[in-house]
Amino acid sequence: MTPGSYRVAVNAPLREVLTYLPPESGEALGRGQSVMVPLGQRRAHGVVVGHDENVSNGPYQLKAIYGASEQRPPLPKAYMTWLEWLSSYYIHPLGQVLDSVFPPLARNSRPSTVVKDHRVRIPPPPLTAEQQSVLGSLAENKDFQVHLLHGVTGSGKTEVYLHLLEDVVAAGKQGLVLVPEIALTPQLIERFSRRFPGQIAVLHSHLTPREKTNQWWQAVTKDKKILIGARSALFCPLNDLGLIILDEEHEPSYKQDEKLKYHARDAAIVLARALNIPIVLGSATPSLESWNNVVQSKFVLHTMAQRVNARAMPDIQVVDLRAEKQTRRDTPSRLPFWLSQRLYEELQAVFSKNEQAALFLNRRGVAQTAQCKACGFAPECPNCSVSLTLHGLSHLVCHFCDYSERLVEICTNCKEGPLEPLGLGTEKIEADMAALFPAIRMARADRDEVQNRAQLEDLISTMEKREVDLLIGTQMIAKGLDFPYLNLVGLVLADVGFHWPDFRASERSFQLMTQVSGRSGRQSPGRVIIQTYNPQHASIEYTVRGDFKGFAQLELDERQVLHYPPFWRMAMMRIQGVDPDNTKQAAQLLARRAQTLQAQNPKYAENLQILGPAQAPLFKLRAKYRYQVMIKCDSAQRLNHFCRQILTPLTWLPSGAKVQVDIDPFQML
């Protein structure tokens, strides 16, 4: 029997679903079916979420659905449940969430040319005792369970993933492997393709729309058994998914900061529960949220504490730059201000043995900025409240909106002093190293030098062929790259992330230092030199000791006292607009609305905190002024409900201002 009307979630910024009459063709539509519908003066995509037997127009004249969308297959029941949860939890329009599932283009109607994969399947290497133990325990349960694989860098986590996927494919099911975007390198794809020739589909942001569409359909139709991708690959509706693997689960890049502000790790766990399948989270430095779930017995822990083939962990030494500075006052040095004598000597030794070295600094450009020595003026971006970064000793660039201007010789503020470099960036390191070691071959890995997939592939190839002696880079070189001849890593200035305005600053510093250190000594004993002005900082001390558990306990104890995640949950209300006064007024109204709501409801009295409004650390970003109101609560459910009450309705919001809600925020700027 044809229902009287359908409830359709339309791809539009609407909080509610819309009601439509059945298609004039009389075709019956099921839940999860993609349809085309009239929306105002245009046609729009939508997904059927339910139906009603009786038609009730109310004050409106209902319109009929045009028909089912032939280019979009119906969504499986479990995925519909999951997508509705995403919309509800992250407070984002359901129609837009559902639309994110589908590929960017229509399916190619022409028969696609099948490119045969001529790679020969390589046999797996012998497993270590730890790998065998982990595989044995993971194989015991095929139903939903969250497994945290805590393995040191070089312990062979990827080999465990490959064995798990072999079992999944042998059972006739599909596997999904999520990795941070930067880890989607030819190294990873090649390794998986060698084990599963012709069975790998790949989804990530560097593909063209046609490539994304083709890969999406190959995965959905089971032409490919394993899908590897960045966070967005999670939305590909695989009909027979048997396992989800999320590598480097601690990575901040799993959190999307635009539009649907979801966290791929948390979303993947909910999807695994909906499908009743296991999920494996892997990391050498797990997030404190995941570790706390282990402590509370919500996740099952599997540990691999040894590197493959009993290779030693790198020897880590700390150089106190304060003492180095004092020494140079007494004994002048020809070395650049950022390079310690110890790191210089280690570099000399590595280059003399034809080994590879890497220098890490999470700051690109020649210098952090340029400053007038006479009046102290530093050029700022006209669109963002940040100083411009000096590049190439010739131009100043904003790393947020890409604004740029030429470097002038005379200060525009006082008309007297010259603008001189202040701070340090990867370009400056490259220039200084070229002067010290003119014979070595260098490569730089940052967003200025490596801007696309082809450039990253070339960089990796030159490192593997030993055509590079020194690699200089930002966090781009810290994750997912395996260079067997890299035996020295220098962290030029470990202090860069210590004082970031974020309660996760110490955690991220520890993770980054540990991950960068892990790039060293994959085949022979490696060395790591950490240069810092704060050698007693907890993240450094625990990195040197390789003591993740100790660091995690220290941080968790502090966060529990301060009511930070994972003990309390957070929501960030961001208010932005082009007029600073209007935006400030909107932020004050929002805060008062939240405070009134809390005062009126006893259940929000003691277990909810409202902080702000305050200017965002980046007060002006891309020509918009920004305020923040932070809400903390001991219950995710109460927090979600509280935020919805604030936002419904939005008639109180002044014209020209917009409010965005970020549940479980990762970016505090």
> What's the CATH code of the domain at 579?
3.30.70.600
Instruction: Report CA 462 to chain centroid distance, whole Å.
Output: 27
pTM, two decimals, is 0.92
Q: Does the residue 400 lie in any domain?
A: no
462 and 596 housed in the same domain: no
349 and 230 housed in the same domain: no
Q: Which pLDDT score is estimated for 522?
A: 67
Residues 6+ apart with CB under 8 A from 318: 529, 530, 532, 535, 540, 544
Res 375 pLDDT > 70: yes
Work out how many domains the chain is built from and give that number.
4
The two structure tokens encoding residue 549: 């558990």
d(CA 392, CA 452): 20
558, 583, 616: which is the final residue of a domain? 558
3-state secondary structure 608-648: EEEEEEEEEEEEEECCEEEEEEEEEECCHHHHHHHHHHHHC
The two structure tokens encoding residue 478: 């810290």
Q: Which domain holds residue 538?
A: 315-364+425-558
174 and 301 housed in the same domain: yes
Instruction: Give mean pLDDT, residues 235-245.
Output: 96
d(CA 461, CA 150): 29
432 and 577 housed in the same domain: no
Q: What is the pLDDT of residues 322-332, one digit of tens each?
A: 999 888 888 88
172 and 287 housed in the same domain: yes
166 and 24 housed in the same domain: no
The per-residue b/e assignment along 232-246, b for 16 or more CB within 10 angstroms, e otherwise, is: bbbbbbbeebbbbbb
447 and 496 housed in the same domain: yes
Asked, as a colleague might, if the bond just before 613 is cis with ω within 30 of 0, I would say yes
Residues 6+ apart with CB under 8 A from 138: 147, 160, 164, 278, 280, 302
The two structure tokens encoding residue 417: 């002093």
Res 320 pLDDT > 90: yes
Q: What is the pLDDT of residues 42-73, one digit of tens each?
A: 999 999 999 887 665 566 789 999 999 988 99
CA dihedral (329, 333, 339, 340) positive or negative = negative
Q: Which pLDDT score is estimated for 329?
A: 85
Residues 6+ apart with CB under 8 A from 329: none
Res 1 pLDDT > 60: no
214 and 334 housed in the same domain: no
Instruction: Give mean pLDDT, residues 211-224.
Output: 95
d(CA 654, CA 638): 27
Which residue's entry shows tokens 């409004």? 613
132: enclosing H helix or E strand: helix 129-138
623 and 648 housed in the same domain: yes
